[in-house]
């Protein structure tokens, strides 16, 4: 008997939530692919992991009641895991930032981005979705434990597109 393959696990940076809600959409971000990922998660064909810090970045004051309801309901899904920031996450994020500063050429990574990467690593995400150039440049590097970091794309598109979404 063949063992069923577990669904992919996606990590999301806050900028993906913001784009999905209709705020701060970068031209490089393919919204059709993002919607395909959302559909996978909604249908239970993929899992989502993120940091509790997302609640500091998806601000009620910057969104409509309808957008916030959409966000809050999505976050309650049983296949969405929200990791609270604790000492282990913060220490992992510090390690990532320190490794970035030792890279040649040296890379600077903001603390929130390091937290999202640390969360994805700690929760064993298959890929971290972001539209942040600093994070995208770190894909598959030692600084992020070889974590794959891409623009959002559904599992059917993994490996078909480049990490820049092209």
> Which band of pLDDT confidence, cut at 50, 70 and 90, is reported for residue 6?
confident
Is residue 26 over pLDDT 90?
Answer: no
pLDDT score of 160:
38
Contact by Cβ (8 Å): 58, 17: yes
Query: In terms of DSSP H, where are the helices of the chain?
Result: 14-20, 31-42, 54-57, 65-75, 87-102, 111-122, 133-136
pLDDT score of 5:
77
Q: Which residues contact 6 (CB under 8 A, 6 or more apart)?
A: none
> Which band of pLDDT confidence, cut at 50, 70 and 90, is reported for residue 22?
confident
Structure tokens given for 90 = 């913060």
pTM, 2 dp: 0.89
Is residue 69 over pLDDT 60?
Answer: yes
- Hey, CA dihedral for 111, 26, 46, 71, is it positive or negative? positive
Is residue 166 over pLDDT 60?
Answer: no
Average pLDDT of the chain is 91
Question: Tell me: the pLDDT tens digits for 103-148?
Answer: 999 999 999 999 999 999 999 999 999 999 999 999 999 999 999 9
Strand partners, 148: 127
């Amino acid at each position: 008997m063949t063992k069923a393959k577990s669904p992919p696990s996606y990590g999301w940076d806050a900028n993906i939530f913001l784009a999905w809600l209709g705020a701060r959409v970068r031209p490089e971000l393919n919204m059709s692919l993002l919607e395909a990922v959302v559909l996978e998660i909604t249908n239970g064909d993929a899992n989502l992991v993120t940091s509790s810090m997302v609640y500091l970045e998806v601000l009620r004051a910057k969104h409509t009641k309808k957008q916030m309801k959409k966000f809050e309901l999505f976050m309650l899904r049983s296949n969405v895991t929200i990791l609270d920031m604790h000492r282990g996450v913060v220490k992992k994020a510090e390690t990532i930032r320190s490794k970035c500063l030792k890279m040649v050429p040296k890379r600077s990574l903001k603390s929130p981005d390091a937290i999202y990467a640390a969360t994805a690593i700690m929760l064993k995400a298959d890929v971290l979705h972001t539209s942040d150039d600093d994070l995208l440049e770190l894909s598959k590097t030692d600084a992020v434990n070889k974590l794959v970091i891409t623009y959002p794309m559904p599992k059917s598109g993994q490996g078909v597109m480049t990490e820049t979404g092209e």
